[in-house]
Amino acid sequence: MGTTQELQLQIRVEEAGEPNSPKDATIATNQPPPCLGLKHYKWWLLVTLYTLFLLCGQSTATLLGRLYYDKGGNSLWMATFVQSAGFPILLPIFLLFFPSKNSTTTPINTTFANLPSKSTIAFIYLFIGLLFAGDNMMYSYGLLYLPVSTYSLLCSTQLAFNVLFSFFLNSQKFTAYILNSLVLLTISASLLAVRADSEHPIGISNRKYVIGFMCTLGASATYSLCLSLIQLSFQKVIKRETFSTVLEMQIYTSMVSTCVSLVGLFASGEWKSLKEEMGEYAEGRVSYVMTLVWTAIAWQISSIGLVGLIFEVSSLFSNVISTLSLPVVPIFAVIFFHDKMDGVKVVSMFLAIWGFVSYIYQHYLDDSKSKTTGTNAIEISSAPN
């Protein structure tokens, strides 16, 4: 009886055209490797969840930030502060997922002997947090001096910057479609620069418009640099595959950024005018507070999705998903803030979406190639470059 079963097993293995091995025996007996299917669906579920967090959070936070300025808010440091100050809402989730002393985590291509020191990780959080603080400040200038639709379209250049940083820091390979995406997004931003004097928010001079334009471009470049540094940190330093790692990165970098914003708020003297600003807010005091609170919460939701996609896939993929909000924010800006959607903006939006689709098609080709070669696509996407 045992000989008959072994013979049947060998025939099945030979028909599959694979070498006789324990792994192949599992396939031959129609029993998939343990937890492979579960791991596959879990990965897609996490990527989908992080994507929704990023898109919904970023779109909502951008619109609320513009609402703050339109209704009477004028504190740049307060607008910067709320972009990172919502991190305490993540603490209960972090404590829930924080690994216990008896739990084991799976390092990425490493052993416990070469895990990073606490001082090294602290330096990473401090450095990235400082970058985010400067990035948030530049974004605040952009939202103050630019129409929200123009601001949103300019933010699409972060994908082009991320391609460059990913090439140098994350070994991202250039392809024709990625280069096409880079060129299209650059042209998209250039179109808006050419028409810089054709549309200003009320009370904004040409000089302030240019400042907002340059600050938004600078913020996009800094943002992309932060994403690439986060990916590099996950791959080369932190080397842990846990959800608590994602939360830890978000909480500590936000904490640093919040402290910098508080120092700026008090050092600049803007804190003295906040009470008056609240009293003069067009929608009332309660609306003033709720606008700031929900802006802070929305940015944290967006940041969880951002860091999560970097952890699960790559910084470039995370930035591509972030660009998906491109057609959403200008449309809502036209509806809620009555921004003009003229021909130049339509062309700029079309080019930006074309650039986004070009990158997505490259991702599709990579995924198809991995399936053809028999390699797990998930492992390719999430593995260090």
Residue type, 102: N
Other beta carbons within 10 angstroms of residue 159's beta carbon come to 25
Average pLDDT across the chain, whole number? 77
Which of 93-102, 145-154, 332-341, 373-382 shows the highest mean pLDDT?
145-154
Rounded Cα gap, residues 385 and 67, in angstroms = 40
The whole-number pLDDT of residue 9 equals: 45
Percent of the chain topping pLDDT 70: 74
Give the least confident one: 198-207, 212-221, 228-237, 370-379: 370-379
230: which residues sit within 8 A by CB, 6+ positions away?
128, 249, 307, 310, 315
**Any idea which residue has 């940015």 for tokens?**
299
Higher pLDDT, 253 or 199: 253
pTM tops 0.85, yes or no: no
Rounded Cα gap, residues 46 and 243, in angstroms = 10
The CA–CA distances, whole Å, from 132 to 79, 135, 227, 253 equal 13, 5, 10, 8
Q: Is the pLDDT of residue 59 over 60?
A: yes
The CA–CA distances, whole Å, from 254 to 1, 53, 133, 199, 301 equal 65, 17, 8, 34, 12
The whole-number pLDDT of residue 25 equals: 42
Closest CA to 296 of 66, 79, 34, 122: 79
The whole-number pLDDT of residue 292 equals: 95
3-state secondary structure the chain: CHHHHHHHHHHHHHHHCCCCCHHHHHHHCCCCCCCHHHHHHHHHHHHHHHHHHHHHHHHHHHHHHHHHHHCCCCCHHHHHHCCCCCHHHHHHHHHHHCCCCCCCCCECCCCHHHCCCHHHHHHHHHHHHHHHHHHHHHHHHHHHHCCHHHHHHHCCHHHHHHHHHHHHHCCCCCCHHHHHHHHHHHHHHHHHHHCCCCCCCCCCCHHHHHHHHHHHHHHHHHHHHHHHHHHHHHHHHHCECCHHHHHHHHHHHHHHHHHHHHHHHHHCCHHHHHHHHHHHCCCCHHHHHHHHHHHHHHHHHHHHHHHHHHHHCCHHHHHHHHHCCCCHHHHHHHHHHCCCCCHHHHHHHHHHHHHHHHHHHHHHHHHHHHHHCCCCHHHHHHCCC
Average pLDDT rounded to a whole number, residues 59-86: 91
Q: Is the pLDDT of residue 267 over 90?
A: yes
Other beta carbons within 10 angstroms of residue 299's beta carbon come to 26
CB-side neighbour CA atoms (13 Å) of 345: 22
Q: Is 384 left (phi over 0), alpha (psi -120 to 50) or beta?
A: beta
Closest CA to 215 of 135, 129, 117: 135
Q: Which residues of 39-49 are buried (b: 16+ CB within 10 A; e: fewer)?
A: eeeebeebbee
Q: Is the pLDDT of residue 154 over 70?
A: yes
**Any idea which residue has 């330093």 for tokens?**
237
C-alpha 308: how far from its chain's center? 8
Residue type, 209: Y
Higher pLDDT, 17 or 96: 96
The whole-number pLDDT of residue 384 equals: 34
Higher pLDDT, 175 or 32: 175
In contact, 153 and 188? CB cutoff 8 Å: yes
The whole-number pLDDT of residue 187 equals: 78
Q: How confident is the model at residue 106 (pLDDT cuts 50, 70, 90)?
A: very low
Domains of the chain by residue range: 70-382
Q: Is the pLDDT of residue 19 over 50?
A: no
pLDDT, tens digit, 9 for 90 and up, residues 347-358: 877 887 887 788
Higher pLDDT, 294 or 235: 294
The whole-number pLDDT of residue 348 equals: 76
Q: Is the pLDDT of residue 33 over 90?
A: no
Q: Is the pLDDT of residue 85 over 60?
A: yes
pLDDT, tens digit, 9 for 90 and up, residues 299-343: 999 988 988 888 887 777 787 777 766 666 777 777 777 777 777
Percent of the chain topping pLDDT 90: 27
Higher pLDDT, 96 or 324: 96
